[in-house]
Amino acid sequence: MSMQDHDVVGIGNAIVDIIGQCDDAFLSQHGRTKGSMELVDAITVANLYDAMGPGIEISGGSAANTMVGVASFGGKAGFIAKTADDEFGKVFRHDIRAAGVTFNTAAAASGGDPTGRSLILVTPDGQRTMNTMLGVSPQLGAEEVDADLVRSGRILYLEGYLFDRPQAKAAFRQAADIAAKAGRQVAMTLSDPFCVDRHRAEFQQFVRSSVDILFANEAEIASLYEANTFEDAARRAQSETKLAAITRSEKGSVILSGGRTIEVAAAPVAKVVDTTGAGDLYAAGFLYGVAIGRDLETAGRLGSLAAAEVISHVGARPQMKLAELAQKAGLL
Amino acid sequence: MSMQDHDVVGIGNAIVDIIGQCDDAFLSQHGRTKGSMELVDAITVANLYDAMGPGIEISGGSAANTMVGVASFGGKAGFIAKTADDEFGKVFRHDIRAAGVTFNTAAAASGGDPTGRSLILVTPDGQRTMNTMLGVSPQLGAEEVDADLVRSGRILYLEGYLFDRPQAKAAFRQAADIAAKAGRQVAMTLSDPFCVDRHRAEFQQFVRSSVDILFANEAEIASLYEANTFEDAARRAQSETKLAAITRSEKGSVILSGGRTIEVAAAPVAKVVDTTGAGDLYAAGFLYGVAIGRDLETAGRLGSLAAAEVISHVGARPQMKLAELAQKAGLL
């Protein structure tokens, strides 16, 4: 495969989101914690699907959403993830390519696990509660990590969720090694406080040894360092990372780098409709800004802008061209 | 099966909509006529899907959308249609039941044609151009028409699109016979001017012999009677139907009954986002109004209200509870 340069290459789960509305009582009845991401098995996902209202299917997946965001800013993005040879897999592959992202990972042979999916329950306050069946997604083998594609990217972006399964974790580490040897930057998102909780020691070690740019929200960074206050967590991140961007919902984000702390405000949103993808799209703007050589504050503002766009509608992928929004805002 | 009473029971195609944005140039390049519905084969649908941008999957199907609308008004609706034992079939069956519609038609065994789907291309003016692969949908057999369910409905609602395939047409006629023998009203929508063109003589005959309530838009009624002006078409409809409701987009609708002509204004819409489902939801409001014994003008206004809701967002099924909207508008 001949390789154009990529600004960012991502590796993560391939997920189709099934988004429905519900009220808080529905979450309680089904024992769900509002705002969380829970991994569920096929039976649980089937039962919850039976109980929930009508849905809308939209391609998702954390790092996949981020790569689509980079492409929407006008950047060149690539993605590596495992889909099945089924209809949801076709939907995922179509949507990511149609968004302009390089995607060449072969689908698994039919007859095995299905393409991953997440039942996303959105409450009237716009909060999302995710119930994810990974399906075939963690069966991404280390041998399926396209080394040329990884080397072609200025930044490799890794989705923390992959740490939840040994085979995918091996692929994740392999990609990081390839990128490091090629002199590329390695970025990672912690993805979820409970995921961090399940793999804290490994995450801490990996962040110290292999990560150039760390993304996390307040709950995730607190979980990583078992910190009781945001200030404590930020102090640890400042000393243990080269560059960290920590998102704080409506309080914006804090960028930590070489002893400096840069605070970036959230971009205004008329009405928060669905917070799914806020962190993913913040990472898209930030990574794009860093990849094209902008200063960290501008990168953070590109992140805020992209996050604001995605939470103003249903679904975790941008509906407007982010490059145009950024130009209007004077950021590009 | 024990049967509660239903206000309306529909029979039609089971379709999952794949909705994407495009510009007018894309339609020209692919030889598509803006605003039309075209039946396409598996290869055409695959090629068009490859070429189009990212999509959103939402359950659709004309009469299915109408039944979901009736349920959203608080009515009791049932639906009969053929799905396959695949992921899109699961999506369709889940969504229609989750909307409160009685749906019991068995899925076809796996290995045959897939569940029907429509690639819907929405241009910036909100117009939709539909490219529909019916898949397994027309394989609904006459023996699969649940006679008890049909008899349980005050009104049977038939989707004209079914006339396009002999097996489905037989099921359609069988349902109409069952309803007529049980003393139920039979309603039909013409669905599409090109569908009418393909089956004009049969449609004319069926309308005269078997239809109590006819739904059509201007192009469809003109095609049915090969009329050059709306007035000519309306005159023919007045003389050949018991009750006809003809939709005219932003000009509202005209209801023809027993020599009377009732004009109903369109309900205001802040911004037309996607016209898909406008006619389907007009029919939902009108049928619900008739089923609960409201006068024809009120039925028409319920139709206008439902159409306005559905064209204000992407997708052909209501996102707000139509019963609440109608109460606010003083119609219920």
ipTM: 0.94
Residue B1 within a domain: no
DSSP 8-state code for residue B146 = -
B267: its two tokens: 């309900």
Q: Which residue of A has its CA nearest to B54?
A: A95
> How far apart, in whole angstroms, are the C-alpha atoms of residue B259 and residue B90?
46
Burial of A29 (0-12, 13-18, 19+ CB in 10 A): exposed
Give, as one character, the DSSP assignment of residue B182: T
Looking at beta carbons, which residues of chain A come within 8 Å of B18? 91
Q: pLDDT band at residue B4, thresholds of 50, 70 and 90?
A: low
Q: In this structure, is residue A18 part of a structural domain?
A: no
Structural contact between residues A140 and A174, judged by C-beta atoms closer than 8 angstroms: no
Q: How confident is the model at residue B272 (pLDDT cuts 50, 70, 90)?
A: very high
> Are A94 and B54 an interchain contact pair (Cβ–Cβ within 8 Å)?
yes
Per-residue pLDDT reduced to its tens digit, A250-305: 999 999 999 999 999 999 999 999 999 999 999 999 999 999 999 999 999 999 99
Closest Cα to residue B161, out of B48, B10, B46, B305?
B10
| The dihedral formed by the CA atoms of A67, A69, A72 and A75, expressed in degrees to the nearest 10 | -50
Which distant-in-sequence residues (6+ apart) come within 8 Å of B41 by Cβ?
B133
Does A228 reside within a domain? yes
Share of chain A above pLDDT 90, in %: 93
- Categorize the per-residue pLDDT at B110 as very low, low, confident or very high, splitting at 50, 70 and 90: confident
Distance CA B150, CA B177 (A): 10
- The average pLDDT across A128-148 equals 95
Best CA proximity match to B263, nearest among B247, B286, B281: B247
On chain B, the residues whose CB falls within 8 A of the CB of A315 are: 56
In a domain, A143, yes or no: yes
For B318, name the nearest residue in chain A, comparing CA atoms only.
Answer: A54
pLDDT confidence of residue A3: 59
Better-scored residue on pLDDT, A274 or B1? A274
**Among A242-246, B160-164, B202-206, whose mean pLDDT is lowest?**
B160-164
Quick check: B99 and A317 CB within 8 A?
Answer: no
Nearest Cβ partner of A98 from B52, B68, B88?
A: B52
Crossing angle of the two packed helices B278-291 and B62-72, in degrees rounded to 10:
50
Range A306-310, long-range pairs (CB < 8 A, 24+ positions): A306/A69, A306/A72, A306/A73, A306/A281, A306/A282, A307/A247, A307/A266, A307/A267, A307/A278, A307/A279, A307/A281, A307/A282, A308/A266, A308/A267, A308/A268, A308/A269, A309/A281, A310/A65, A310/A69, A310/A276, A310/A277, A310/A278, A310/A280, A310/A281
Is the model's pLDDT at B1 over the cut of 50?
no
Q: What is the pLDDT of residue B3?
A: 59
Q: Is residue A255 part of a domain?
A: yes
Nearest to B86 among A49, A58, A87 (CB): A87
Residue A1 has pLDDT above 50, yes or no: no
Picking from A203, A155, A197, the residue whose alpha carbon sits closest to that of residue A176 is A155
pLDDT of residue A2: 43
Q: Does B6 touch chain A (CB under 8 A)?
A: no
How much is the mean pLDDT over chain A?
Answer: 96
Question: How many domains is chain A built from?
Answer: 1
More confident residue, A2 or B45: B45
The shares of helix, strand and coil residues in chain B, as percent rounded to the nearest 5, are 45, 20, 35
Q: Does B91 touch chain A (CB under 8 A)?
A: yes
Instruction: Tell me how far apart the alpha carbons of residues A162 and A293 are, in angstroms, rounded to a whole number.
Output: 28
Query: How many Å apart are CA A73 and CA A290, to the nearest integer?
Result: 12
Residues forming a β-bridge with A6: A153
Q: Residues of chain B with pLDDT > 70: what percent?
A: 99
Could you tell me how many CB contacts below 8 A there are between chain A and chain B?
A: 55
Beta bridge mates, B18: B57, B119
- What average pLDDT does the segment B313-321 reach? 95
pLDDT band at B121, cuts 50/70/90?
A: very high
pLDDT, tens digit, 9 for 90 and up, residues B21-47:
999 999 999 999 999 899 999 999 999
Tell me the CATH number at B143: 3.40.1190.20
The answer to whether B20 and B53 are in contact (CB under 8 A) is: yes
Mean pLDDT of A294-322: 97
Per-residue pLDDT of B185-225, as tens digits, reads 999 999 989 899 999 999 999 999 999 999 999 999 999 99
Mean pLDDT of B251-266: 97
What is the residue type of A308?
A
> Would you say residue B87 has pLDDT above 60?
yes
Of the candidate ranges A36-40, A72-76, A263-267, the one whose mean pLDDT is the lowest: A36-40
The whole domain housing A300 covers: 6-13+62-107+137-328
Mean per-residue pLDDT for A236-252?
A: 97
